[in-house]
């Protein structure tokens, strides 16, 4: 079993309820192979953490950009809490070393791991909220997520990739991109979607997300990079 004291020392936070901390890292697949473990997986914590994260980030952006309209703030928030951003931050915090996964899941280091890391970040936020309250959770998010905001805004990383890809595809190839959902992964309450984007009959790229919209955006961004149109 992982030694979570090491993780606590790394992030400078000590949990009162150690079971909550462990549950944040406990993937459903791990329980399938360790049926004697009397704990729940982290999906309920992920549900809670997602809501807390959204509120904290919304409050921050609302105060930081008093002149920006709702649409821009929504786009900034989406860029801050999407799978790519959260998995990157989770990786920097060393969360990958503490994941409790099945042997099969542990071997996968690609896109699936990225989603597990993003979900674990949200689970950790939920666990921290339950263990230490809103202010401590806000401090954690502020320290690890807020510093990314300026780069996201200045470099236009928040912009709608689908719109950009459609505009350039029509300009360069006179084709409107088409999107097709090719896979739905996970239980109903925590699905990940895989979407392919096509130009005519040619598949350009795939993307994944917690909603079809997020997956389409990811596919469009990947397509921009694949075509060197980014």
Instruction: List residues with catalytic annotation.
Output: 50, 122
3-state secondary structure the chain: CCCHHHHHHHHCCCCCCHHHHHHHCECHHHHHHCCCCCCCCCHHHHHHHHHHHHHHHHHHHHHHCCCCCHHHHHHHHHHHCCHHHHHHHHHHCCHHHHCECCHHHHHCCCHHHHHHHHHHHHHHHHHHHHHHHHHHHHHHHHHHCHHHHHHHHHCCCCCCHHHHHHHHHHHHHCCCCEEEEEEEECCHHHCEEEEEEEECCEEEEEEEECCHHHHHHHHHHHHHHHCCCC
């Amino acid at each position: 079993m992982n030694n979570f004291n090491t993780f606590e020392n790394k992030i400078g936070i000590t949990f009162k309820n150690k079971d909550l901390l462990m549950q944040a890292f406990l993937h459903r697949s791990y329980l399938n192979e360790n049926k004697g473990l009397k704990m729940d997986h982290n999906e309920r914590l992920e549900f809670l953490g997602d809501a807390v994260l959204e509120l904290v980030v919304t409050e921050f952006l609302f105060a930081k950009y008093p002149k920006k309209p709702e649409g821009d703030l929504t786009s900034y928030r989406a860029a801050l809490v999407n799978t790519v951003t959260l998995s990157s931050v989770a990786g920097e915090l060393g969360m990958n070393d503490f994941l409790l996964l099945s042997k099969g899941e542990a071997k996968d280091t690609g896109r699936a791991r990225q989603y597990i890391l993003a979900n674990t970040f949200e689970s950790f936020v939920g666990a921290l909220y339950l263990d230490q309250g809103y202010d401590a959770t806000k401090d954690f998010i502020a320290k690890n997520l807020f510093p990314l905001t300026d780069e996201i805004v200045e470099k236009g990383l928040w912009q709608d990739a689908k719109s950009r890809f459609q505009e350039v595809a029509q300009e360069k190839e006179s084709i409107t991109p088409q999107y097709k959902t090719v896979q739905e992964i996970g239980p109903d309450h925590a699905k990940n979607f895989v979407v392919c984007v096509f130009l005519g009959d040619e598949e350009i790229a795939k993307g994944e997300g917690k909603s079809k919209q997020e997956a389409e955006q990811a596919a469009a961004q990947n397509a921009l990079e694949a075509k060197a149109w980014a």
